[in-house]
Amino acid sequence: MAKNAISPTREENYPEWYQQVVKGANLAENSVVRGCMVIKPWGYAVWEKMQGALDSRFKETGHENAYFPLFIPMSYLEKEAQHVEGFAKECAVVTHHRLEPNGAGGLAPAGPLEEPLIVRPTSETIIGETFAKWVQSYRDLPIKINQWSNVVRWEMRTRLFLRTSEFLWQEGHTVHATEQEAQEETRLIHDLYAEFAEDYMAMPVLKGYKTADERFPGAVATYTIEAMMQDKKALQAGTSHFLGQNFSKAQEIKFQNEEGHEVYGWTTSWGVSTRLVGALVMTHADDDGLVLPPRLAPKQVVILPIVRKEEDRESILEYCDSLEKELSQQEAFGEKLRVKVDTREARGGGKKWQYIKQGVPILLEVGPRDVAAGKVFAYRRDTGEKWGVEKGAFTTEAGTFLETFQKGLFDKAAQFRRENTHEIDSVEALTTLFDDKGKEGSAPGGFANCYFCESPETLEILKPLKLTVRCVPDDQDHPVGKCIFTGKETTLKAVIAKAY
Amino acid sequence: MAKNAISPTREENYPEWYQQVVKGANLAENSVVRGCMVIKPWGYAVWEKMQGALDSRFKETGHENAYFPLFIPMSYLEKEAQHVEGFAKECAVVTHHRLEPNGAGGLAPAGPLEEPLIVRPTSETIIGETFAKWVQSYRDLPIKINQWSNVVRWEMRTRLFLRTSEFLWQEGHTVHATEQEAQEETRLIHDLYAEFAEDYMAMPVLKGYKTADERFPGAVATYTIEAMMQDKKALQAGTSHFLGQNFSKAQEIKFQNEEGHEVYGWTTSWGVSTRLVGALVMTHADDDGLVLPPRLAPKQVVILPIVRKEEDRESILEYCDSLEKELSQQEAFGEKLRVKVDTREARGGGKKWQYIKQGVPILLEVGPRDVAAGKVFAYRRDTGEKWGVEKGAFTTEAGTFLETFQKGLFDKAAQFRRENTHEIDSVEALTTLFDDKGKEGSAPGGFANCYFCESPETLEILKPLKLTVRCVPDDQDHPVGKCIFTGKETTLKAVIAKAY
């Protein structure tokens, strides 16, 4: 097979490569509405796999799904000062509730609303208002709710999945009787997100907390998982916020505690979005297109009958059907395999290349000789390896094979991150690591591990370099060192990088 | 147990009874945003069960899920003349994309959009625009897409689930190469909806087509399923629209056919919404609250340990746990039973009444004597029957019991509909059936079966009676009769009723 189904390659033009992989894999496309995307069936199927895995974990940990309004009264957004500052600049505002003829053959907005409504950019304020009614006594706590929904943040520069004006996500919102419980919840979800990213997406993540300037607007603490993309930039993949009593005070979420005193609740919120599909692409895709971790692949094995002579058709199709049935009885990751036979007329290898670009982990070709010999001709997407194998042997080993495939993707990404993580001990070294002198991608880049004292003046140095503190990792066990920005002694290290 | 957990009863005040059932069952509540509801965890769990069943049926019949933008440019809505007329009066309009300080300490909309955006009331226009790009050749057809999403239709008079400004739904959109295929698709979904309503919701439905004035705006034909609520009004529960080439012409959905000619596609659309939750309530609930068909119950059996003495606690809880485990291994409707033990501290029967109001099909109480005797004390929600039964016997029969329970609900609703369906042979008889002389509910009401010739003048007679033609049923096998409105000879009969 010719190489490089995707043009340009990563090397040639990484941002454009990304767009072409998304397009080639039929994941999504831009719509006529600025910044809003159409998620195509294959992209949506990947998102559904993600949803399924996350949803069952949320439920196992005692959360319930619910649904809250799309619209937020403008005045609600104003209740938490930092929150409104964080979102006011990117709000879609509904001001009218009908259309009327404009007198020139077209339409014009009519029926002005007394109070404008904001299309939710996130739901703390509207959900908090409801929680305030639900919580009366300590017996009503904890409240642990999750919502699957769409949100809108008006973005000027958008990119499919990574930054879109409308996106799909889940947002968890909880209220607890004590600070400790709320902290524990925040951490529980932080861990859950990290496990999901590593076990399902095969995407290694750094776990840590955000510095003040990178926190969710209104949060006391924001915990994040950060992944390294193949251009060595960081991508924030999921955040869990400890909101303290900031929102409960703004929204009067109060309850009678066991001692009969009226006190404020402690709240958390947390979310991941369709952005994860973009992260998946940029972690595993190659110059032939998408590579899907088997655990999230809508189809893990696709069987392609190769019919060249009409007289072979029946026996080949029968063979493929029995292969599909047998494989579908096998298991990987505790679930039955997802297998499909594609019997559409072949058009010069086009079908096979389509599945390669869509990232299906294993393709099996079946021609007349394979039927005669009781074999299949296998192709694995990650390495491009091809081999003939006895049908029964392939079937019994398929589950294990997919699990190994999944682990291989993770290991490869972990190695890439290791190779591109640097211990940095001065601002000069940091500058050298990232300064591309105007030529994007010419500096080594990666993750910079630096001693760091959390001084706000750090920002002044990072901004011109287009760098951010991605997180202060949870695992801290360093001897005393000097903050590379202030020279102050500290045992903390932070990870600094360019980011999406 | 005392009767009537819900006040008022159906007899006393049906509309208010409905609100109280929804409230008592924790299904939903009104939000601060006019016309938008909060779907609470129990209500959302019922919706999730509906989604799961429908989604797998859509997939089995070759449909794929995707996601399209929330916003529709105002000019898109104008493309199909009837369509815009149908929806212009109830559109939420986004006119600005940020908020700025208003100079008085508050906020004001800023960043006016060049073209206002409509929050989708339905997605034919925005999805059609994308389909036009996807369809080039007959080889690209059929396209069979479904979307799970929220939609907004600004309603002045709202009622939880039945009529809300924002609601959740699924909308299917398909394109076909021929008229016949599109007709078949419309019918396939029509049948699928009817089977879902009857097999899952235990709600008998009439299948038929809508008369011109009741069609979806822009459709050539609308097929509907209509159910009878306990106040004998009709509720439209799901519609499937054959759109002909109306939308494909408005949106240029064209393709090259096998002969090389450029022709327009044939499209369909179809949807059901969270309105079905309201239909479920009004079909089965009684004066003690919700009654859930087991197939859609988030929990089918709830076990309530009755601990009066601390020394019994351990043995009772152990017994309940083993009961839960054994029951969870049983099956009904081809799925494992959904069972829960509620170990929260009891508060004077409050827990049991809560589950009754929430419509859980079977409650099992377990006290010290039951443990000693190896028994459980069972309560079935539909009949209110209570009985002691040997634990093992109950367990092995639980699946069959739930299936019989489900059938019983259907039979009861079917009988109610039969008893309240009338053969009507004149406008006078129709008037007598429905004229309540200003006292709501005083006339017999129900479904009126009438000879009907589809003359538009029928509307003039029905309007003042607040009646509509619900549908012209699919099953028509009548001798010639006289249209009750025009006196013309016809073999068609229509069903006329008051409706939600």
Tens digit of pLDDT for each residue in B40-90?
Answer: 999 999 999 999 999 999 999 999 999 999 999 999 888 877 888 889 999
Q: What is the pLDDT at residue A313?
A: 95
For the domain that residue A470 is a member of, what is the CATH number? 3.30.110.30
Query: Which residue in B69, B95, B168 is closest to A36 by CB distance?
Result: B69
Same-domain pairing of B460 and B386: no
Q: What is the pLDDT at residue A80?
A: 76
Give the confidence band of A346 by pLDDT, cuts at 50, 70, 90.
Answer: low
Same-domain pairing of B87 and B36: yes
What are the CA-CA distances from residue B3 to residues A111, B19, B288, B289, B365 (Å)?
A: 47, 18, 7, 11, 19
Q: DSSP label at A436? A: -
Chain B residues with CB-CB distance to A150 below 8 A: 70, 149-150
| Interchain contact, B70 vs A107, CB within 8 Å | no
Note the pLDDT tens digit of each residue in B450-466: 999 999 888 889 999 99
Give the confidence band of A170 by pLDDT, cuts at 50, 70, 90.
Answer: very high
Give the confidence band of A459 by pLDDT, cuts at 50, 70, 90.
Answer: confident
Same-domain pairing of A459 and A332: no
Asked, for residue A3, whether it belongs to a domain, the answer is no
Note the pLDDT tens digit of each residue in B390-425: 999 999 999 999 999 999 999 999 999 999 999 999
Query: Which residue in B38, B72, B94 is closest to A93 by CB distance?
Result: B94
Structure tokens at A62: 């005692």
Name the minimum distance, in Å, from the CA of B416 to any CA of chain A. Answer: 33
Q: What is the pLDDT at residue B346?
A: 62
Q: What is the pLDDT at residue B175?
A: 98
Residue of A nearest to B38 (CA): A68
Class of residue A415 by CB neighbours under 10 A (exposed 0-12, middle 13-18, buried 19+): exposed
Give the confidence band of B436 by pLDDT, cuts at 50, 70, 90.
Answer: confident
**Cα separation of B375 and B391, whole Å?**
5
Q: What range does the domain containing A136 cover?
A: 14-284
Asked, for residue A5, whether it belongs to a domain, the answer is no
Note the pLDDT tens digit of each residue in B130-178: 999 999 999 999 999 999 999 999 988 999 999 999 999 999 999 999 9
* Mean pLDDT, chain A, integer: 95
Q: What is the pLDDT at residue B336?
A: 98
Same-domain pairing of B400 and B426: no
Q: What is the pLDDT at residue A167?
A: 98
Domain-ending residue, one of A284, A307, A324 = A284
Domain-ending residue, one of B375, B404, B433 = B404
Is B414 in CB contact (< 8 Å) with chain A?
A: no
Same-domain pairing of A246 and A329: no
Asked, for residue B136, whether it belongs to a domain, the answer is yes
Same-domain pairing of A83 and A143: yes
Domain-ending residue, one of A240, A255, A284 = A284
Same-domain pairing of B255 and B398: no
Question: What 3-state class would DSSP assign to A190?
Answer: helix
Q: Report which of residues B358 and B441 the model is more confident about.
A: B358
B positions 206-235 inside 8 Å of A (CB): none
Q: Which residue type is seen at A482? A: K
Asked, for residue A168, whether it belongs to a domain, the answer is yes
Q: What is the pLDDT at residue B86?
A: 86
What are the CA-CA distances from residue B17 to residues A180, B25, B38 (Å)?
A: 42, 12, 19
Query: Which residue in A67, A107, A166 is closest to B39 by CB distance?
Result: A67
Same-domain pairing of A429 and A385: no
* Mean pLDDT, chain B, integer: 95
Structure tokens at A55: 């949803």
For the domain that residue B341 is a member of, what is the CATH number? 3.40.50.800
Q: What is the pLDDT at residue B1?
A: 46
User: How many residues does the structure list for chain B?
Assistant: 500
Least Cα distance to B448 among B437, B458, B460, B438 occurs for B458
* pLDDT above 50 (res A1): no
Asked, for residue A7, whether it belongs to a domain, the answer is no
**Cα separation of B94 and B120, whole Å?**
11
Strands A64-65, A143-152: pairing is: parallel
Is B360 in CB contact (< 8 Å) with chain A?
A: no
In this prediction the ipTM stands at 0.96
Contact B231, B283 (CB under 8 A): no
Same-domain pairing of A254 and A378: no
What are the CA-CA distances from residue B34 to residues A251, B84, B278, B490 (Å)?
A: 19, 23, 19, 46
For the domain that residue B68 is a member of, what is the CATH number? 3.30.930.10
Note the pLDDT tens digit of each residue in B259-292: 999 999 999 999 999 999 999 999 999 999 999 9
Q: What is the DSSP string of A108-162?
A: EEEEEEEEEEEEPSS-HHHHHHHHHHH-SBGGG--EEEEEEEEEE---SS-BTTT
Asked, for residue B109, whether it belongs to a domain, the answer is no
* pTM, full prediction: 0.96
Element (H, E) at A431: helix A427-434
**Cα separation of A237 and A420, whole Å?**
19
Contact A235, A227 (CB under 8 A): yes
Note the pLDDT tens digit of each residue in B177-229: 999 999 999 999 999 999 999 999 999 999 999 999 999 999 999 999 999 99
* pLDDT above 60 (res A2): no
Q: What is the pLDDT at residue B488?
A: 96
Same-domain pairing of A156 and A219: yes
Asked, for residue A6, whether it belongs to a domain, the answer is no
Note the pLDDT tens digit of each residue in A180-237: 999 999 999 999 999 999 999 999 999 999 999 999 999 999 999 999 999 999 999 9
Note the pLDDT tens digit of each residue in A303-342: 999 999 999 999 999 999 999 999 999 999 999 999 999 9
User: How many residues does the structure list for chain A?
Assistant: 500
Report the domain count for chain A: 3
Q: What is the pLDDT at residue A344?
A: 86
Asked, for residue A1, whether it belongs to a domain, the answer is no
Same-domain pairing of B272 and B327: no
Is B85 in CB contact (< 8 Å) with chain A?
A: no
Is B36 in CB contact (< 8 Å) with chain A?
A: yes
Poorest-pLDDT segment among A15-24, A69-78, B138-147? A69-78
Same-domain pairing of B203 and B280: yes
* pLDDT above 90 (res A24): yes
Note the pLDDT tens digit of each residue in B3-14: 689 999 999 999
Give the confidence band of B476 by pLDDT, cuts at 50, 70, 90.
Answer: very high
Q: What is the pLDDT at residue B27?
A: 98
